[in-house]
Structure 1
């Protein structure tokens, strides 16, 4: 029987890979108004913010957005956009009202940054950043839905795919998976002793 450490490492690696794929190909996890219109993934929330701050080159932001554009084109059976012609949101079109609206959804914004960073970090070494990011996004969306802070509450909702992101983010934490495996083995031993 394999050790709990080996099982936890394997499960953590698979979960990290699933989480990375969900985030990078921009599977719709939620819907929320943002600077670029309606954002449905953490990458869609972070890309306009990164463009507006001018700290990261446009080429790097295009590289972040491009896999999602390719996936969207394949799903819609359209032509795959070229990397050079990929259109990003114009940061000069951001109004003060847009900036204030994004600050009111601070949990979603910070959670999106953590989710994207956690997706990349999880390929190197699975860590809790991605799980914290998804929980922050979920908390911000639930808070907005419950309090109806949005001017148009029908624009804010959570897609069922968010459950995949939450589960894969949690299972990417090897220490927690190892604890779950140990507790399951402990329960199995107790059942065997009773029978």
Structure 2
């Protein structure tokens, strides 16, 4: 009985656990893909989003730095056991000159750009309340990568800019789908109940007549 109740509790909180894992994948900037962007080559949704935010000046630079800093700290510790400085965050991600970079690269990959926006927003919002934004963003990214990788649109200019998908993308996809909370009780209640008793009653009355 204890095992069954614990398994039911785990399944009930599956969306919460999946949202947390997805949050860590996005915020700590675990490489999911590799695509050309304004900053050169981007490997995470946050990198794609930050390059566009800096170029368009939608948010203050401090907000973009706050978005990048957790992943920069993790990457710095893992690679060379150092913690990067706050003032050097944009240099690490090659975001100092993105305003002068051509916007053609982003326009060619609108699905990846839009999906990165939704993935980052869904990861942050999902910590408070799991929803469908992460799933929608991940699907957009996957479609953009598939369109370029399989259909060959747009055409790559060299091997250094070849689009690549890391195995961690599958983990992100599973977490994004699992973060959606499905209420089975509401689905059952919303389903219309079919009446079986009325036809039986009418047939029994016809026999009596």
Please classify the TM superposition score into its range, dividing by the shorter chain length.
Answer: 0.7 to 0.9
Task: Supply the distance in 2 between the matched residues of 1:152 and 1:19 (Cα, whole angstroms).
Answer: 32
Give 1:146's aligned residue. 150
CA contact (8 A) 1:27 1:41 kept: yes
**Per-residue deviation, residues 120-153 of structure 1 (Å, max 9, x unmatched):** 1101110011011011101100110112222236
Equivalences, count = 177
* Aligned-residue offset at 1:171: 0.7
Task: Supply the distance in 1 between the matched residues of 2:81 and 2:158 (Cα, whole angstroms).
Answer: 31
Task: Supply the distance in 1 between the matched residues of 2:27 and 2:173 (Cα, whole angstroms).
Answer: 15
- Cα RMSD between the aligned structures? 2.3
1:101 corresponds to 2:108: no
CA contact (8 A) 1:111 1:137 kept: yes
Task: Supply the distance in 1 between the matched residues of 2:70 and 2:5 (Cα, whole angstroms).
Answer: 36
Q: TM-score, normalised by structure 1?
A: 0.82
Task: Supply the distance in 1 between the matched residues of 2:5 and 2:45 (Cα, whole angstroms).
Answer: 36
Task: Supply the distance in 1 between the matched residues of 2:122 and 2:8 (Cα, whole angstroms).
Answer: 22
Larger radius of gyration: 2
Between the two structures, name the one with larger relative contact order (CA 8 Å, sep ≥ 6): 1
Give 2:135's aligned residue. 131
Give 2:116's aligned residue. 112
Q: Which runs of 5+ in 1 are unaligned?
A: 183-195
